[in-house]
Chains A and B, each alone.
Chain A
């Protein structure tokens, strides 16, 4: 598989696409999120797997997002996600609240190609009352009064994440971050940024194969060094807390966010990464 440019990768995401995005602790492609802002993407429908972080907040702030399904939006120790909060207050995005294992379960149903899977818990939460697409049934294998929630399969149009490496045939390596494999399996297409391309075939190495995702799931790859930054990338680089704190501060206001975008998304494009 021949890598394409980051801008070309962003062109592969149509407006209105349903996109699965892992949060800041599990290999987000912040590089592709920034490229989507530069390409002026609109009406994206994001799914936080299972929660959402910085990449989601900047896409919302830049006006790229119409809808969000997630279990939480947070900048971790830097606090609430300011552009998400503002957009929700102003009614600019539609939000569907979920709870973490429900998102995983919906993706796992899509992975298996079944229409739904059951999940315990959730009964008595107001989340359930606001999810007409989630059903409660009597457990057909259990005692009479045992109710259980059924969750519909979720097949995103596109899975987006940042992997450590891709090999010559297009297998990518995410190590133990298997949620990236789940979204790649569940989505119709996967667009992946990587730190580097390595020769050979990852699946022929017994030590690397368990952390790899087969090329059959991968649609296109772009090389984006430090593409998860400011999120950490396994043992490759750490979390940039100062960068996220500064973002959290600037993005409190629309003007501050615009200044941040100008500096970190538009002007930064001209610079080497």
Chain B
């Protein structure tokens, strides 16, 4: 039916959120390791003319840092990183993230890898885009078992920003830090507010009319499959082969 893949739709949805004119401007954007779809979204936004300076961690060549792995955190501590991407093994309706595990501390049922820098980055970055392709009651829970990074903070806690949105394989949620809740912003083609509700463990606000996430345009697809893929081939060869059907020519 469609002439695009879900990964392409998600990259486009994220790129639009990066460029969202209603959000504080993002110039310096950092992307963590093993995040091919957020990386594709950043390159796409750049190709569409957004004046981004990208800090991509774990690139095989062209590492953006000269001071080791602490430099990203030092930059963020100073407020020089405007936008970062985070995810969670569990994400709840208050945008709390759990990268540690389920069950009792420290993940007695299922242990996830660990918090990485999330407990710092989430509070110190003006904008965070949450991304998790799996959209199921297992991931989107009423309350995370362990808070590796809090979605909101009490007054007085030094915090530069919050989640702007959560993009999943089914929809885009907006986050409202003032009331600590998500609202459904759009549903991807093939989904309805009801199907999203059924797959979501947390409660969220449902506007009267929920638009469809606009599918990728012809121009966006051409950019993704061309120049964006060119930039990603070396760091994400398996992703490029699977999604764009392109391989490095030896």
A residues lining the B interface (CB < 8 Å):
25-26, 49-51, 70-74, 76-77, 80-81, 84-85, 88-89, 95, 97-102, 104, 108, 119-128, 130, 145-148, 176-182, 232, 235, 238-239
Contact = CB atoms under 8 A, between A and B. Distances in A.
Given A89-B111, A124-B153, A147-B157, A100 B66 contact: no
A50 B117 contact: yes
Interface of B: 33-34, 58, 60-61, 63, 65-70, 73-74, 77, 99-100, 105-108, 111-124, 146-150, 153-158, 238
Contacts of B124: 120-121
Contact of B113 (A80, A123, A124, A239): A80
B157 A88 contact: no
A72 B146 contact: no
Contact of A71 (B116, B153, B238): B116
A97 B158 contact: no
Contacts of A85: 111
Secondary structure of the B contact surface, majority rule: loop
Given A77-B34, A97-B100, A146-B158, A125 B70 contact: no
A159 to B, nearest CB: 13
A70 B114 contact: yes
A234 to B, nearest CB: 9
A101 B71 CA distance: 9
B66 to A, nearest CB: 5
Nearest to A238: B60
A71 B113 CA distance: 8
Q: 6 closest Cβ contacts across the A-B interface?
A: A72-B114, A124-B150, A179-B68, A101-B73, A121-B120, A178-B68
A102 B147 CA distance: 17
B113 to A, nearest CB: 4
Nearest to A74: B113
Contact of B157 (A89, A98, A104, A123): A123
Contacts of A239: 60
